């Protein structure tokens, strides 16, 4: 048996066809065998080569000898009172990542992770505080979809209709795996490109690369502040890719027809919710026809920040709309299971939450660093 057997779940449909065609030629088998396997992977949810019952037994065995079909292993599942379901996946090497199923009236959205931890250290994000673990592979990213979709079907939750890259990690800092994973989700599992959203904190070359793709994947930009100085206090990456360069990349993205941009704006009391910020926010949104999602900050153990008052969040929405910007208020879902899951990850890392370090010059209880912590994604 080949110890480095390639995992079929990490191959784009084109790579898969090539691999399987070569395999079955070597085996002296007819060409339609490759299509049979593809069908089992993308449509019929085979768990192993043994499940592929329309293939002769020796062929099932031969596949298992040279290839793998391996999903992330479920570690913990927590269900929220509001219907949100969080999976924690155990990955080889000891890392854990999470994905979240979020039901709304006519949709079932799956929020997936692209990295174990994150290197970008946004102040308000617990994943940033937990430090960077490692990049996920295409199979680990697309595998979250496959395993979650099965869980949803088996538990009467219906089919996953939308996928968002809003779990742990910065997807555009792992393009090597995220770009093939996009092809696998779209061309393999058949999720429409407009139902797949890549969320970024502003990796400019990644936005440009996504704009070059022929599919109309959606883009969410985690903006959180419409002026560079304030944004830089929340998001260290602002210093590398400042707002003016970011907006140029978004304008290019927006010019490619049909690609909607959403601004994510996490509202933190007395940090980024001054009404004076509404006009510059509206100006940026209007420049690229962005929809604005206003998300009350989900408190994390590392900073003493609080969510904006509901009246302030409504004021932002109403005044954005008056300025011609479509806007909505999004409550973070699954708050009751958020802590449980994230703390579990922190415990796996053998660390406990911290609120600051002595001598740290940052004004609000330290900066995100290499400490463990719960995920604070808005999912
Ligand atoms: N790195 C990507 C995707 C992961 S975060 C990005 O930044 O877009 C997904 C979303 O959750 C982002 O919009 C992020 O800013 C938001 N988020 C992170 N921590 C949050 C918190 N504590 N409260 C509310 N939203 C948060």
Summarize pLDDT for 349-370 with one digit per residue, the tens. 655 444 433 323 333 333 333 2
Q: Is 262 in the pocket of ligand 1 (CB under 6 A)?
A: no
Going from the Cα of 128 to the center of ligand 1, the distance in angstroms, rounded, reads 10
| The pLDDT value given to residue 365 | 32
Determine which one of 95, 98, 140, 238 is catalytic: 98
**Is residue 293 within 6 Å of ligand 1 at its C-beta?**
no
Does residue 170's CB lie within 6 angstroms of at least one atom of ligand 1? Answer: yes
Atom of ligand 1 nearest to the CA of 221: 8
Please indicate whether residue 342 or residue 204 has the higher confidence score (pLDDT): 204
Nearest in space to 230 (alpha carbons), one of 119, 124, 374? 124
Q: Is the pLDDT of residue 162 over 50?
A: yes
Mean pLDDT for the chain? 90
pLDDT for res 375:
31
Active site residue 125: no
State in Å: Cα 266 to ligand 1 middle.
8
Question: In sequence order, what DSSP letters do the residues of 332-376 get, joined into one string?
Answer: PS-HHHHHHHHHHHHHHTT----S--TT---TTT----S------
Q: pLDDT value at position 363?
A: 30
Q: What is the DSSP string of 269-323?
A: TTTS--GGGHHHHHHHHHHTT-EEEEEE----TTS---BPPHHHHHHHHHHHHHT
Residues 174-191 have a mean pLDDT of 98
pLDDT at 336: 74
For ligand 1, atom 4, name the residue with the nearest CA.
Answer: 166
The predicted model scores a pTM of: 0.91
pLDDT at 40: 98
Q: Measured between alpha carbons, how far is 200 from 233 in angstroms, rounded to an integer?
A: 17
Task: State if residue 371 touches ligand 1 by the CB under 6 angstroms criterion.
Answer: no
270 is an active site residue: no
CB 376 near ligand 1, within 6 Å? yes
| pLDDT for residue 253 | 96
Best substitution site from 236, 291, 308, 376 to test ligand 1's pocket, by max atoms within 8 Å of Cβ?
376
pLDDT number for residue 26: 97
Residue 342 confidence (pLDDT): 45
- Residue 344: the pLDDT is 53
Q: Are 105 and 130 in contact (CB under 8 A)?
A: no
Check residue 334 and give its pLDDT.
76
Residue the block writes with tokens 């006009």:
279
What would the mean pLDDT of 7-22 be, rounded to a whole number? 98
Q: How confident is the model at residue 347 (pLDDT cuts 50, 70, 90)?
A: low
**Substitution candidate for ligand 1 out of 116, 199, 269, 373 with most atoms within 8 A of CB:** 199
Mean pLDDT of 185-212: 97
pLDDT at 263: 98
Q: What is the pLDDT of residue 3?
A: 64
Give me ligand 1 centre to Cα 88, in Å.
18
Task: Report the pLDDT value the prediction gives residue 332, as an integer from 0 to 100.
Answer: 76
Name beta bridge partners: 78: 86
Q: How confident is the model at residue 259 (pLDDT cuts 50, 70, 90)?
A: confident
Q: What is the pLDDT of residue 257?
A: 73
pLDDT of 272 reads: 98
For 92, the 3-state DSSP assignment is coil
* Residue (of 234, 268, 87, 114) closest to 181 by Cα position: 114
How big is the CA angle at 149 (ends 143 and 154), to the nearest 5 degrees? Answer: 130
- Per-residue pLDDT, averaged over 317-333, amounts to 94
C-alpha neighbours within 13 Å on the C-beta side of residue 107: 13
Question: What's the whole-number mean pLDDT along residues 330-334?
Answer: 81
CB atoms within 10 A of CB 23: 18
pLDDT of the residue at 348: 64
Residue with tokens 């010019």: 255
Q: Which residue has the tokens 């709309």?
A: 321
- Cβ of 295 closer than 6 Å to ligand 1, yes or no, is yes
Q: What is the mean pLDDT of residues 139-167?
A: 97
Which protein residue's CA is at the shortest distance from atom 1 of ligand 1?
Answer: 170
Which of the two residues, 374 and 162, has the higher pLDDT score?
162
CA 159 to chain centre: 18
Mean pLDDT to the nearest integer, 60-64: 98
Other Cβ atoms within 10 Å of 117 Cβ, number? 24
Q: pLDDT tens digits, residue range 261-303?
A: 999 999 999 999 999 999 999 999 999 999 999 999 999 999 9
């Amino acid at each position: 048996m080949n110890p480095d057997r390639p995992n079929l779940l990490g191959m784009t449909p084109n790579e898969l066809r090539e691999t399987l065609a070569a395999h079955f030629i070597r085996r002296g088998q007819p060409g339609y065998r490759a299509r049979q396997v593809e069908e089992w992977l993308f449509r019929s949810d085979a768990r192993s080569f043994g499940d592929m019952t329309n293939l002769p037994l020796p062929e099932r065995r031969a596949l298992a000898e040279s290839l793998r079909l391996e999903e992330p292993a479920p570690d913990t599942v927590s269900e929220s009172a509001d219907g949100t379901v969080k999976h924690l996946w155990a990955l080889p090497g000891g890392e854990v990542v999470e994905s979240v199923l979020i039901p709304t009236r006519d949709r079932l959205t799956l929020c997936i992770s692209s990295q174990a931890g994150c290197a970008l250290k946004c102040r308000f994000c617990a994943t940033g505080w937990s430090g960077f673990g490692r990049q996920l592979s295409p199979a680990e990213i697309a595998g979250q979809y496959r395993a979650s979709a099965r869980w949803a079907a088996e538990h009467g939750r219906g089919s996953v209709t939308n996928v968002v890259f809003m779990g742990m990690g910065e997807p555009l800092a792992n393009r090597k795996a995220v770009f093939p994973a996009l092809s696998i989700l779209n061309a393999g599992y058949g999720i429409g490109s407009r139902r797949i959203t890549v969320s970024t904190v502003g990796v400019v070359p990644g936005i440009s690369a996504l704009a070059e793709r022929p599919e109309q994947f959606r883009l969410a930009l985690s903006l959180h502040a419409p002026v560079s100085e304030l944004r830089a206090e929340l998001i260290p990456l602002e210093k590398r890719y400042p707002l003016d360069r970011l907006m140029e990349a978004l304008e290019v993205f927006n010019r490619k027809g049909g690609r909607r941009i959403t601004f994510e704006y996490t509202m933190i009391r007395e940090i980024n919710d001054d009404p004076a910020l509404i006009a510059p926010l509206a100006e940026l949104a209007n420049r690229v026809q962005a929809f604005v999602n206003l998300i009350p900050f989900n408190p994390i153990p590392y900073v003493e920040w609080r969510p904006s008052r509901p009246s302030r969040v409504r004021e932002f929405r109403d005044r954005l709309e008056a300025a011609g910007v479509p806007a909505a208020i999004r409550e973070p879902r699954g708050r009751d299971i958020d802590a449980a899951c994230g703390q579990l990850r922190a415990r796996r890392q053998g660390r406990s939450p911290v609120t600051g370090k002595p001598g740290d010059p940052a004004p609000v209880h330290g900066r995100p660093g290499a400490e463990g912590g719960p995920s604070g994604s808005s999912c």
